[in-house]
Amino acid sequence: MKQPHSPVLGMLVPLQVWKQKWQKKGEWFGGGGRCFDRGSDTCFRCGGTGHWASECKGRGKTFYLPWPAGSRPVYEPPAPPPPMEPLYGLGQDGKVRETPEEVFQALAELGYSAFRQGQEVAVMRILSGLSTLVVLSTGMGKSLCYQLPAYLYAKRSKCITLVISPLVSLMDDQISGLPPHLKAVCIHSNMSKSQREAVKGGKVHVLLLSPEALVGGGRVGSSCLPSADQLPPVAFACIDEAHCVSEWSHNFRPCYLRLCKVLRDRLGVRCLLGLTATATLATARDVAHHLGIQEEEGIAVRSAAVPPNLHLSVSTDRDKDQALVLLLQGERFGGLDSVIVYCTRREETARIAALIRTRLQGSIRCPLKWIADSYHSGMSAIERRRVQNNFMCGQLRIVVATVAFGMGLDKSDVRGIVHYNMPKNFESYVQEIGRAGRDGKPAHCHLFLDPEGGDLHELRRHIYADTVDFFTIKKLVQKVFPRCKCLELHRKQQDLNRVRNEPSSDQIEEQACRDDRMSGQQRVCYKHERAIPMQQTVESLDIREEGIETLLCYLELHPQCWVEMLHPTFSSCRVVCYGGPQQLRATAQSSPPVAVCLARERLAGVDHTHASSVEFDVIALSDSMGWEVLPVKRALRQLQWSCHGTGNSGILVEFSDLSFHLRSYGDLTDQEMDSVCNFLHHRVTSRETATLCQLQACFRAFQSVACQASALYSERVDKERSSRLKALLMDYFEKKPALDETELMCREDEELREWEGQIRSDIRNFLSIRQDEKFSGRAIARIFHGIGSPCYPAQVYGRDRRFWRKYIHFDFNRIMRLATEEIIRCK
């Protein structure tokens, strides 16, 4: 028998209309309907169990139709539009055709006389509808790989190209830098109506948007991206900084993972172009896999890691400040007009900029304010723009900045990059030095390496800041997979069917299918929709939001696809009736979600007779009823307006508690729960180890080409050492590097043994001072390493200098073990 579907499923159908429809068919609570929800087998009307609605002895009116246990009303999202036909078909040999004249003409129209390395291949692949990954160093002209096809596609027919770029703040700059023939707009909240119309009307060639705007947008999201049926056909989508898609990259961003799926499922995009400047071969393969393209075949272009015009050097000066000043005064850097000095810590940028201004004053002929200035993301937007503008127009010679400076910076004549601290890995190093010499003319890069490995300790702190222990993972896993009753209900249903009637042949068949599913390890539970409140979870687990998101992403990436991530949502709904309890009861008559909420609370023994407001988890409620969240929320919001169109209804509906939103199973066995925890823990620890090894390998490589004093490099560059470093970088990007962490560990082992007594005594001391507070071993290790966390922020714990950062030189995990032992002993 066809099962009735939920009234608010898929689209918003007024309840009454829906109810009438099913009443006509005689199925409203008859035959197929049951008066209990699938989350429990308790009837809302009589409190009994396991009966059909028509047999219910309960009194009162039921306002909703729960769907029968065991049947799943599946929400079918609207089919995506068909993919756009490529401009050119493939040749008879299945390969990309020779470049037609039309393409060269378009290239000239965009203002270029010839293609640069790799551009032609990439452009022709996209015009032939083949997804492609382009790995080219900064400044080599990756943007043309999307600009030209976007232009040509738009010339042929009304269509649009989507460009997903992480640099929201620089999108306007990116647009102004496009060739004049190419019309582009970027999606943001204050987009004008005419821009919106231009996008819908196909008058725009390129639409720039952030990954978040896309993942949350489209048909079922909340961004300002017009829905797929309002957009002109999408020719192809370009993903800038595509390495962020790979969890093995240096800059993994969980929401990038969902990008490709959204582009395919929601917008029907088949042709994807990934652009990145820094990806090892392993990362590039992973990205290619996510973009759905054949491994090697899809990585159309890979250039040498470091452009030949860059001259590299490294030194291990004891007095870095002095060495920096000498370097900037020397012949090699002294004559360079545009220089960026990178520091790891924000506080350091201001100090170094002041140092340079003071020491270089008079040695160069320009006003003081033009010599050097600092830049970091903690500064106000106006300040940052001022510094950036001054640097761009050549008024400011040196910017001392954190890595926040330079992303998306299109200044072709930056002549020098100085690393005051070691970068966190080779990828970051290559990306940062790549900001110099984009015009192809010689540029100089120097790195100061702390001979004692001080930077190494500093950078390791950042790695530990993101890792989590097994116990915390277990707590998260319990939140993600709370037990459901699907299996139990399924069994009860089977028993009931057996007792009640002789099953029909159809039912026997259906039952056999279900039993097959169960014996074949297929789940009865189909995944429930859940909301995990962000702030509350961050506080209870003491992990940053991004950390939780990454763990959830790992679960989504698992071959068994343990969870399915949805766009974050507000999960708590509060309905306040200014007309008092009577109005609340009247509201329940017309609003199924409010009715369900009241019914459940009544069953739980909560008396609502005098209440004029209710608060409930709208995601859990919708899920238990088999309703889609979006239409339920829309219907709830609608309660605020009078149904007669006379304005305010006297009801306030508020949504709060921004939450991770996902679908996950609720019938995992204990073993499965353990294996999920083990899987996550293994992922976290292997990533931690890999990152630590990378860091150490990076340090060793720089050390191997470093000379003791930068004075040697102030006048001229050592070509031999520069080439050696380039070769090391090339190896790193082209081969799988052999990473070895043992050496550093051994040295640390010895040192730790000497210090163990002191560390233990400090831990006891710390615990005795803060007796009222609760600490885990991890929390203490973080404090001793100077790592702030949501529950133990640097602003509070960093004030006590006796402990904060005190043992930064020792292995984090060992300190954590010592702390755990001491905590147990103190109990």
Ligand X SMILES: Nc1ncnc2c1ncn2[C@@H]1O[C@H](COP(=O)(O)OP(=O)(O)OP(=O)(O)O)[C@@H](O)[C@H]1O
Which residues of the chain form contacts with ligand X (CB under 6 A)?
112, 115-116, 119, 136, 138-144, 277, 410, 412, 438
Q: Is the CB of 45 or the CB of 438 nearer to ligand X?
A: 438
Q: Are strands 310-315 and 339-342 parallel, antiparallel or unpaired?
A: unpaired
Q: Is the CB of 48 or the CB of 141 nearer to ligand X?
A: 141
Distance of closest approach, residue 142 Cβ to ligand X, in angstroms = 4
Q: Is the CB of 408 or the CB of 454 nearer to ligand X?
A: 408
Residue number closest to ligand X, CB atom: 141
Distance of closest approach, residue 225 Cβ to ligand X, in angstroms = 23
What are the DSSP calls for 370-382, one per residue? GTEEEE-TTS-HH
Distance of closest approach, residue 546 Cβ to ligand X, in angstroms = 24
Distance of closest approach, residue 140 Cβ to ligand X, in angstroms = 5
Cα distance between residue 56 and residue 35, in whole Å: 8
φ, ψ dihedrals at 108, nearest 5°: -65, -40
The CA distances from residue 434 to 50, 294, 410, 415, 708, in Å, are 68, 28, 11, 11, 25
Q: Is the CB of 253 or the CB of 683 nearer to ligand X?
A: 253
Q: Is the CB of 372 or the CB of 436 nearer to ligand X?
A: 436
Cα distance between residue 691 and residue 699, in whole Å: 12
Which residues are paired to 616 by β-bridges?
A: 573
Q: Is the CB of 431 or the CB of 694 nearer to ligand X?
A: 431
Q: Is the CB of 119 or the CB of 624 nearer to ligand X?
A: 119
Distance of closest approach, residue 115 Cβ to ligand X, in angstroms = 5
Q: Is the CB of 115 or the CB of 627 nearer to ligand X?
A: 115
Nearest to 485 by CA among 61, 796, 39: 39
What element of type H or E holds 23?
A: helix 15-24
Reduce the DSSP state of residue 331 to 3 states and report it: helix
Give the contacts of 709 (CB within 8 A, at least 6 positions apart): 315, 317, 323
Report the amino acid identity of residue 250.
H
Q: Is the CB of 143 or the CB of 315 nearer to ligand X?
A: 143
Nearest to 448 by CA among 304, 326, 338, 628: 326
Nearest to 410 by CA among 392, 384, 431, 390: 392
What element of type H or E holds 134?
A: strand 132-135
Q: Is the CB of 307 or the CB of 626 nearer to ligand X?
A: 307
Q: Is the CB of 115 or the CB of 426 nearer to ligand X?
A: 115
Give the contacts of 154 (CB within 8 A, at least 6 positions apart): 160, 161, 205, 235
Distance of closest approach, residue 798 Cβ to ligand X, in angstroms = 36
Distance of closest approach, residue 380 Cβ to ligand X, in angstroms = 25
What element of type H or E holds 451?
A: none
For Cα atoms 239, 244, 247, give the angle at the middle one, nearest 5 degrees.
135
Cα distance between residue 442 and residue 415, in whole Å: 7
Cα distance between residue 355 and residue 230, in whole Å: 56
Distance of closest approach, residue 716 Cβ to ligand X, in angstroms = 28
Query: Are the beta carbons of 507 and 497 closer than 8 angstroms?
Result: yes
Distance of closest approach, residue 144 Cβ to ligand X, in angstroms = 4
Q: Burial code of 733-760, b = ≥16 C-beta within 10 A, e = fewer?
A: beeebeeeeeebeeeeeeebeeeeeebe
Distance of closest approach, residue 110 Cβ to ligand X, in angstroms = 9
Distance of closest approach, residue 410 Cβ to ligand X, in angstroms = 5
Distance of closest approach, residue 398 Cβ to ligand X, in angstroms = 20
Q: Is the CB of 406 or the CB of 626 nearer to ligand X?
A: 406
